[in-house]
Amino acid sequence: MTSHAISWVDVFSAAPLGGNPLAVVHAADGLDEDTMARFARWTNLSETTFLLEPTVPGADYRVRIFTPGGELPFAGHPTLGTASAWLALGGEPAGEDVVQECGAGLVSVRRRADGLSFAAPPLLRYEPVAEPALLDRVARSLRLDPSAVLDVSWLDNGPGWIGVRVADAETVLGVRADWSAMAGLKLGVVGPHPEDAECAVEVRAFVGDWVVEDPVTGSLNAGLARWLTDHGWAPDRYVAAQGTVLGRTGRVLLERDAETVWVGGHVSPVVRGTVEL
C-alpha cells in the first residue's frame, strides 16, 4: 500500500458544486489496473483518473480514465480536470499547450483566461442513424413522439454517443428517460435556447447501461459541436448549458477552428489530500 496525492475537482463550473466532479490520483504508476478499477468503483463518480508517466514523445503525462463500469479511451471532463490538477501540483508542460496521452492518442489542452480547453479527438463514427428500429428505440428511450425528434446522428469519439436534436431547450429539459428502453445506448439530447438567452443550447446526456444522467459531458459536447456547426445549427463559437435538471450550472464553451473543435470551461478545486492504495 502506498500514499498518493489526490485532487477532487469540479469541471465546467466557475464555482465548486456546480459542474461534474472528478477524482485525480497523482503519480499512479505503481498501481495495477485492478486497483484502479476498484478505486473508481469506490469513489462512485462518473470518472476517476490516474496520472502516469508518458510513454510517447511529445506527451507531458499519460492518463487512464475509469468509470465504475470500466476504462474509457477518452472522456472530456476528465481531460480538463486532470490537466488542471496536474498543473496545480506543479506540472510544467514542455510547450505552450499541455499534451495529454490517453487511449485515444495525444490530446492538446490550452490554458486560457476563461479556463482550459481541449482539442476534441476525431470522431470515430459520424453518420446519420438510419436504422428504423434504432430510431424508434431512441424516441422511446427519451419518451418523445418520433415527430419531436428532428435529427439523430452517431457522434462517437470513444464513448459511443448518439446525438439527438430537438426543436428547443424546453423539450430537452422535459425529457424523462425510459431506462429499460435505453439499455446499451448513450444518448445526448440538444435543443436551442431563445436567441437572447445566456446559452445557445441546452444539453443532456443519458447513459443507459449505468442508468444515469451525466451532469456535464465534454466528449458529448465535442461531438455535438461538430454536428451542429457542420449543419449551421450553431455558430462557430457558443456556450452550452448542461446539468440544469440535476441542479447543476454546467457551462461548456465550444469553439470551431477549421477542422478542430475546442471544448473549454472552468475547473474548480474542491478537495486535496492523500489516498492509501
Just list the catalytic residues: 47
> At 167, is the secondary structure helix, strand, or coil?
coil
Q: Which residue in the block uniquely carries the three cell numbers 485525480?
A: 24
Q: Which of 208, 147, 210, 148 is nearest to 174 (CA)?
A: 148
C-alpha cell recorded at residue 219: 466528449
Which helix (H) or strand (E) covers residue 67, if one does? strand 61-67
d(CA 184, CA 141): 11
C-alpha cell recorded at residue 26: 497523482
d(CA 3, CA 66): 19
> At 174, is the secondary structure helix, strand, or coil?
coil
Taking every pair of C-alpha atoms in the chain, what is the biggest distance, in angstroms?
56
C-alpha cell recorded at residue 201: 443550447
Q: Which of 272, 202, 267, 269 is nearest to 238 (CA)?
A: 202
